[in-house]
Structure 1
Amino acid sequence: MDESAMDGRLARCSQLTLLGRFELVVGSELVSLPRGAQRLLAFLGVRNGLPVNRSAAAEQLWPESRRQRAAANLRQALWQVRRSTEHPVVEAATEHLRLSPLVAVDLSRALDSAHRADPGADEWLAGLLGRDLLPYWSEEWLVAERQRWEQVRLHTLEAIARRLLSAGSYLAALEAALTAIAIDPVRESAHCTVIAVHLAQGNTGSALRHYQHYRGLLHRELGVLPSPRMTKMVPAPHATL
């Protein structure tokens, strides 16, 4: 294999991780990057390959800086990325930037799989959906991206749980539903799935106990009761508060 072919093969093995942590791997090598370069790659990575205007990127990544200083920070971050690996990671044009299409991003893979609704990928996808987007990062531009990711996670985890329940994969269905509950504890639809799993296994007591726990949570947090639909799922009598 000639050198150019090897470079292309290594580039196609580039992986950018944004779920649960930040990590860039090229080939089998973990690439160490300064924080400014990490922020740039993450900013480009959440845009699923779409180009971003240079000035807009600089202003969003360094909102506390003047325009010229932000532009200088962007140039430095680009230089840091190029210096850290000789393989293509960012495509930089005169006015726009984008992550190289040769870099695979876990967030993009998860979003694509969620929209395809492929039952064969359910258990793998449920694992990714359990991870937060760049936890502990405080950048303002992440707020909207996290909100989008959270909604995708919730809807997809519930759909996965229902499919797994229908297939008789009770443990996997329960794990997917509980992951959704961990993201949004008062979301009734996920709790309904947990109850449905218990009932499908013949565990009426577990179903009733889960209902009572959720009923108490709703009363404490919001001062409301579960919907009639949920209440009808479990056998009477229901615990009173």
Structure 2
Amino acid sequence: MGTIPPELQVRLFGSFKLFQEGVERPLPASSHARTLLSYLFLNHKKNHYRLSLATLLSPESSETNARRLLNQALWHIRSKFPGLLFCQTDEIALAPDYPLVIDVVEFEQYILPYQAGIGKVQNAIRDLNRAIDLYQGDLLENVYDDWVYLERERLRELYFMALEHLIQTNKAAHEYQHALNVALRLAKGDPLRESNHRDIIRLHHLLGNSSAAVKHYQDFQQLLQKELGMDPDPETQELLREISKRIGLHQTPYLPEPAIPAGQSLLEKGSPEELPLIGRSAEKRFILGWIEGVFFQRGNIVLIEGVPGIGKTRLLQDIQRDLEWRGAQVVLGKANPLQPTQAIDPLIQAITGGLSPLRIEQLGSLVSDERARLLEETLAILLGGTVSTDFLDPVLARNEQQGIRRGLSNILSLWSQAVPLVIILEDLHWAQEDTWEMLVDIAESIFTGTPVGLNILISTRPEESKARPWIHTALTRLAGTGLLSQVELHPLVQDASNQLIRTFLSIQQPMAPIETYLFQETGGNPLFILESLRLLY
């Protein structure tokens, strides 16, 4: 039995290098031998026909000359690394028992579970950092043969995907400086990826360095002008305008002309949704502080209560954007006050709305064999078009309804393993008793078991909820889990009301008589303020 050689460490990212026992080994002197060796490492699991390798090394030569060059290359490799090759009459491969560690192989092993959506959230930062540390440059960066290009591009895109995933994971873990460092690395590798530059600008601002955010925007704008002769997207421009306002830069000479002329009010644009969130900072911070456990496999439920027009939907929109920016998936369901018994259940609406084909494939890869059939049956019900008519039919046998609810619990539990998941259920005061019972059953099932990255946000109107005794019963049961938190939205104070008026009209100066009048007449209700402005102007 031959002696096992020391482990050979293969570096294919950047310049081609080989190491044994911590010492860099000289490569074969022959360029053909180096090309062949790098190709074999890159395709280490395959057996290769001699003629194919000969053609790869010298595609313009005759078969005789190409085979001669191949034999010479093989001789150089055997001389440097005895036992590395397994050669047969017609085929050549790497010896299966030769100890190898190939950086490209390790790189993909760290990344591919997250690309497939089956990587463990708690290991993501460690695994992805290891992957990007292995990426010391593009694949075989000094090799210009045709066979390298497609694989080089594939691995580069995989590297960018790992960086993006790592940025999201760091944001979710509140590691904003680490997220910024990774985003800057991504910008260096892919300088025209504008969504990443928006992340950099936001992260600079979040870390208290708004001047760096403005400077980064300026540098990016100059890059776009130089490379493409164009300005940043409107979304990026709007981001800078908001930061500039907050730090008192009323004029930014490098800022392109906005798509909407400065000073044009939201009345003229007809888009009040573009208003920043006003007067709800404390409530937003409290809710985000409560539900950030979704990024750390901690389940929570938040109930937001408030009268019509008080701003529940607008607050939820801002929270949704924050959560999605940090890497959570947010799915939405809304109860319908018209013919509620015929409407699709809001929880089912939320779940089916987020079940893309890719997500379903991910769930299938995560499920155990004993629960696979339950997953298939539940997905068939959800996606079969029967949900709106018989899913909550009161004549269904009790055990059948419980089986379906177990199936939903199974789906949500698996889903939260693939990605932090937040379900927003709006206007749930309109929902029927069966909807609340199903919600409580699922919450008790999921939140009292294995830790899951699932949070639920519910909005209701208090008066309508009081008229439906089953809501009180359901909330009592949810409170019993110890995971329910309640937030009541109150009318805006006068300063916030004034700010809303000025922002909506795009003015800077106070309008004391009108502002006081509107505040008194509307009681600080945001919707009433905006509707009154429409009537007045």
Q: TM-score, normalised by structure 2?
A: 0.40
CA distance in 1, matches of 2:190, 2:135: 13
Query: Structure 1 residues 188 and 95 mapped into 2: Cα distance closer, same or farther (>3 Å)?
Result: farther
| Cα displacement (A) at 1:19 | 1.3
Does residue 111 (structure 1) correspond to residue 92 (structure 2)? The answer is no
Contact 1:62 1:70 in 2 (8 A): yes
Give % identity: 27
Query: One-letter code of the match for 2:42?
Result: V
Aligned match for 2:76, one of 63, 77, 80:
80
Aligned to 2:64: 68
Contact 1:161 1:177 in 2 (8 A): yes
Does residue 96 (structure 1) correspond to residue 102 (structure 2)? The answer is no
Contact 2:16 2:140 in 1 (8 A): yes
CA distance in 2, matches of 1:123, 1:177: 13
Q: TM-score, normalised by structure 1?
A: 0.84
Correspondences of 1:144-159 after superposition (within 5 Å)? 144-159=150-165
Query: Structure 1 residues 29 and 233 mapped into 2: Cα distance closer, same or farther (>3 Å)?
Result: same
Contact 1:37 1:80 in 2 (8 A): yes
Query: One-letter code of the match for 2:89?
Result: T
Aligned match for 2:25, one of 31, 55, 63:
31
CA distance in 2, matches of 1:74, 1:205: 59
Unaligned runs of 5+ residues in structure 1 are none
Does residue 172 (structure 1) correspond to residue 175 (structure 2)? The answer is no
Contact 1:165 1:197 in 2 (8 A): no
Counterpart secondary structure, 1:141: helix
Count the aligned residue pairs. 234
CA distance in 2, matches of 1:47, 1:26: 20
Unaligned runs of 5+ residues in structure 2 are 115-123, 245-251, 257-537
Query: Structure 1 residues 180 and 99 mapped into 2: Cα distance closer, same or farther (>3 Å)?
Result: farther
Counterpart secondary structure, 2:163: helix
Contact 2:187 2:197 in 1 (8 A): yes
Query: Structure 1 residues 41 and 212 mapped into 2: Cα distance closer, same or farther (>3 Å)?
Result: same
Counterpart secondary structure, 1:132: coil
Higher relative contact order (CA 8 A, sep 6+): 1
| Cα displacement (A) at 1:130 | 4.5
**Which is higher, the Rg of structure 1 or of structure 2?**
2
| Cα displacement (A) at 1:16 | 1.2
RMSD of aligned C-alpha atoms?
A: 2.4
Query: One-letter code of the match for 1:200?
Result: L
Contact 1:39 1:61 in 2 (8 A): yes
CA distance in 1, matches of 2:78, 2:133: 32
Query: One-letter code of the match for 2:212?
Result: S
Aligned to 1:182: 188
| Cα displacement (A) at 1:28 | 4.6
Query: Structure 1 residues 130 and 27 mapped into 2: Cα distance closer, same or farther (>3 Å)?
Result: closer
Aligned to 2:236: 230
Counterpart secondary structure, 1:19: coil
| Cα displacement (A) at 1:58 | 1.8
Contact 2:210 2:243 in 1 (8 A): no
| Cα displacement (A) at 1:186 | 0.9
Measured against aligned partners, the alpha-carbon deviations of 1:179-232 in whole angstroms (never above 9, x if no partner) come to 222222111132223223213312222122212221222122213332333334
